[in-house]
Amino acid sequence: MNIGLIPEKAYVALRFSYVGEDYEKELQVCHKTFNKIYVPSIKDRNNPIHGNKLEQAALIYKTDQGYYEFKELNIRVVTVGDKFLYEIQSDYIAERQNRRAAFRVPIGSPTNVKVIEESGKTRRVSGVLHDLSALGMAVILYNKLEVGNKLEVNFNVTDKASIKLVGDVVRIDELTSKKFLYGCKFDDRSETLGKALLRRQLEDRRRKLNS
């Protein structure tokens, strides 16, 4: 997909690093040409941040069928009337990615899991937090559960802070006769989790570039 095929008024996510911090900002496309789109600029202390200050920038466009990630962006600040906009140009052709796998980060950490049955009954079991995304998580357990149960785990977003994640079991994959992978969907999106996952993705990307 060419970046110019993103429709006007669509929302896109701009991912970038700025002064040592990782960000993801949702922006609305206000104009487009063949290989450029125009979105509101991001400001720091009421001044637009120049495009060359946005490091490792990527643009994500999501659809019902999947998502597209555009790289190799050329971003510059332009003015239209009294508004500052980003002109984002790219010759990169983005392939559609599976939406369920979007931004899924492998974890693989042993964890204590609280199982909440539909009756309200709870119990604790040992398991593995297999992977995470902003929309849900996959947990491996050695217990057979039912769709509709809830799973609750604690996830360390930093060395000193953790958040509680609660997801509804919507998919069950039987890995062996005594080992099951549970796909869980979150009811609400967490900004804290989203930033933590973005940070991990960028760290993994840096490691791959340096390897």
> CB neighbours (10 Å) of residue 163?
13
Nearby residues of 24 by Cβ (< 8 Å), 6 or more positions away: 13, 14, 15, 194, 195, 198
The answer to whether 70 and 121 have CB atoms below 8 angstroms apart is no
Lowest mean pLDDT: which of 52-66, 70-84, 187-201?
187-201
Higher model confidence: residue 44 or residue 62? 44
Q: What is the pLDDT of residue 98?
A: 61
What average pLDDT does this structure show over 45-71? 89
| pLDDT beyond 90 at 48 | yes
Residue with the larger pLDDT of the pair 71 and 53: 53
68: amino acid identity, one letter: Y
Residue 208's pLDDT band, with cuts at 50, 70 and 90, is low
Phi-psi category of residue 164: left, alpha or beta, with phi > 0 → left and psi -120 to 50 → alpha: beta
Q: How far apart are CA 48 and CA 62, in angstroms?
A: 25
Q: What is the pLDDT of residue 85?
A: 97
pLDDT for 205 = 67
At 209, is the pLDDT very low, low, confident or very high (cuts 50, 70, 90)? low
pLDDT score recorded for residue 107: 86
pTM above 0.85, yes or no: no
Q: How confident is the model over 120-174, as pLDDT tens digits?
A: 999 999 999 998 988 889 999 999 999 999 999 999 887 788 899 999 999 999 8
State the pLDDT at residue 103: 60
Average predicted confidence (pLDDT) for the chain: 88
